[in-house]
Structure 1
Amino acid sequence: MPHPETDFPDLYVNDGQLDPQRTGLLEATCPRTTPMAEMRHRLERDGYLYLKGLLPRADVLEARRKYFEMLAPTGILDPRTSPIEGIFDRSQDATDFPGFGTGRHGTGTTTSDTFMMLALRAHAEDWYRNDLCKHPALIAFVEDFTGWGKSTWALERTILRNNLPGNPATGVHYDYIFLRHGEDSVLTAWVPVGDIALNGGGLIYLENGHVLGRATEGQFTSKAQAAGLSEEEAKTAFNQNMMSNGMLSQDPRHFGEEHQRRWLVSAYEAGDVVFHDSYMIHASTLNHDENGVIRLGTDLRFVDGRGGWDTRWASIYRDDDGL
């Protein structure tokens, strides 16, 4: 479902509208017809590998249905719609339903407290933790793609994020910022849990962002050493060389302009998976879906269990775990 650049809707990030002239499309890959060697080459070349239909659509939508059935008591959903649609009730205050990873927390209302409790609890549910995050099709692909085989470990800490119309989007970052207590060979899989329109709040990737991410990491290390940080202190993302929440920036438009690179975007379908490496710089757009569809997606990480990996990611996500 490619969208010619001239057909782009207006796309917005935290600091305003993306310039259409600085916006491009992610290159999609078919996992059934593309040789494995070519897919490995594309990840190395581009920093990401966008696979269409890797997972069974019905299985992904089942996870979406169960998530919103679980969250329905909070009033998040339009009562005229079904849970699997995930349509936001616009009569509600969107700030009561913050997305994890955006730097926003609950508002302290009963609605918000209940939402945060249930959204966190979802991370431990079998239909999510095992049926989706460790889906056999996903695990089999990663085992083959990486060459790690049965040494492939799916890290237990995952982040199931919603993105409501009207709420802030995810800021600019690369994953190694948060995984610096281990090797940088971590492979991330971003899984959209449902269809996401082009302007529906999906992930966006900075063109050749993995190159800039590696350079940024080198600069970070130099700054940490110059600031007198110990090796252990330099491993944490929360220090004077980063924003307080570990982000490179909360302003994707300005960041892209500053580095003279395009943001690559796409609409997504249930069953799609985007893999990216530890240094690939990415963010998300604001959700401006005309129908009020709530964007739901999850970040999964895979490592070679024989190597050194960040053991802080061995436990199920908690909003106060400091990562």
Structure 2
Amino acid sequence: MSQAKTILSSLGHELDCRSDTFGDLKDSSDLLSRPDALRLRMQEEGYLYIKSLLNSQKIWQARREIADCLAAEGSLRADSPIEDCIAKPGLTMSFRPDLATRSPTLQEVLYSGAMMDFFHLLLGGEVRHYDYTWLRAVAPGRGTYPHGDSVYMGRGTDFLYTAWTPLGDISWELGGLMILEKSHRLETIKNGYGRKDVDSYCTNRKNASMYASGEKWWDGALTKNPVSLRKKYGGRWLSAEFQAGDVLIFSIFTIHASLDNRSCAIRLSSDSRYQLASEPVDERWVGKNPVGHSAAGKRGRSC
């Protein structure tokens, strides 16, 4: 990790970037011909960072399709090249799944070809992907809070994997994803926080109807302070400067967050999910129009 990079922060908290608290993601692209080694590394590390897995030209094409949509809605500065995605002053934006459905190239990249071949290799059988694509168009500002994916999609198999795909090059300043080292092994988190469900609510409480309708909702954050989280559980925050074509894959129990976007551009990335077709699937994320976290996805229980 270069010591010359800019100061890094997440959720406004400056990160300690000494070698014992912050490090580089380990590249696993040399294991692509060795599926057993890939599985072992996933088991040991909780993530696989695969450089240049995807066709970079396709990634740039998908980026341009999304950038065109952002330009058409007036989210970009008119005096800058569209593909640079320079945010108009004062723009507030983060989660834009609607943009994923407007990029046919992104759908092709995520759900065919090299990506699906990789998951077939990793999982050793027929692969099913979720029908919902999480697309993030993060304007300059604070990143995503530390969390694990199990609280959002834990009703199916535990062996569900996320592919975080940068849609373009992501510098330290633009701020990419970061993984809390070996956090998938933290049983106190996995068996407590990790078994919660953001769409589950207590039917015997006064505010039950508000949770059932989605008027009130727990956001799934493990914490809003990535610095204190690392101090409490140990390990290092791991990240990298990403390039178009790179993919970061991790388990639903791996704690992750993102660096703050300290640039003037919108950071584009997608999250897509994959599992063996033979294993149980979370019904909220499959079908022609997945219900997601809507009222239809809520599940009441007596507390």
Which bin holds the TM-score, normalised by the shorter protein? Answer: 0.7 to 0.9
TM-score if structure 1 supplies the norm length? 0.78
**Runs of 4+ residues deviating >3 angstroms:** 31-34, 220-224, 315-320
1:70 paired to 2:69: yes
Which of 269, 272, 288 matches 2:246?
Answer: 272
Distance 1:68 1:144, change over 3 A: same
Q: Give unmatched runs, 5+ long, in structure 1.
A: 101-118, 231-237
Number of residues of Structure 1 aligned to a counterpart in Structure 2: 279
Which of 6, 9, 14 matches 2:11?
Answer: 14
Give SS of 1:249's match. Answer: coil
- C-alpha contact (below 8 Å) 1:158/1:317 kept by paired residues: no
Q: Give the structure with the higher percent helix.
A: 1
Partner of 1:134: 111
Aligned equivalents of 1:154, 1:207: Cα separation in 2: 26
Distance 1:85 1:319, change over 3 A: farther
Aligned equivalents of 1:33, 1:311: Cα separation in 2: 31
- C-alpha contact (below 8 Å) 1:120/1:318 kept by paired residues: no
After TM superposition, give the deviation of residue 318 of structure 1 in Å: 7.4
Distance 1:176 1:223, change over 3 A: closer
Aligned equivalents of 1:75, 1:36: Cα separation in 2: 45
> What RMSD in Å do the two structures reach over aligned CA positions?
2.7
Partner of 1:306: 278
1:195 paired to 2:192: no
Partner of 2:41: 42
Partner of 2:87: 88
Distance 1:15 1:258, change over 3 A: farther
Partner of 2:153: 179
Aligned equivalents of 1:183, 1:33: Cα separation in 2: 24
Partner of 1:219: 192
Aligned equivalents of 1:19, 1:33: Cα separation in 2: 33
Distance 1:33 1:280, change over 3 A: closer
Aligned equivalents of 1:23, 1:34: Cα separation in 2: 29
Distance 1:205 1:317, change over 3 A: farther
After TM superposition, give the deviation of residue 80 of structure 1 in Å: 2.6
Which of 125, 131, 149 matches 2:102?
Answer: 125
Q: Give unmatched runs, 5+ long, in structure 2.
A: 204-210, 298-303
One-letter identity of the residue aligned with 2:127: T
Give SS of 1:133's match. Answer: helix
After TM superposition, give the deviation of residue 200 of structure 1 in Å: 1.4
- C-alpha contact (below 8 Å) 2:58/2:109 kept by paired residues: yes
Give SS of 1:7's match. Answer: coil
Partner of 2:138: 163
- C-alpha contact (below 8 Å) 2:100/2:135 kept by paired residues: yes
Aligned equivalents of 1:284, 1:222: Cα separation in 2: 22
One-letter identity of the residue aligned with 1:136: G
Counting aligned pairs with the same residue, the percent is: 27
Give SS of 2:116's match. Answer: helix
Partner of 2:256: 282
Aligned equivalents of 1:219, 1:121: Cα separation in 2: 32
Q: Which of 296-305 and 29-38 deviates more? A: 29-38
Distance 1:152 1:165, change over 3 A: same
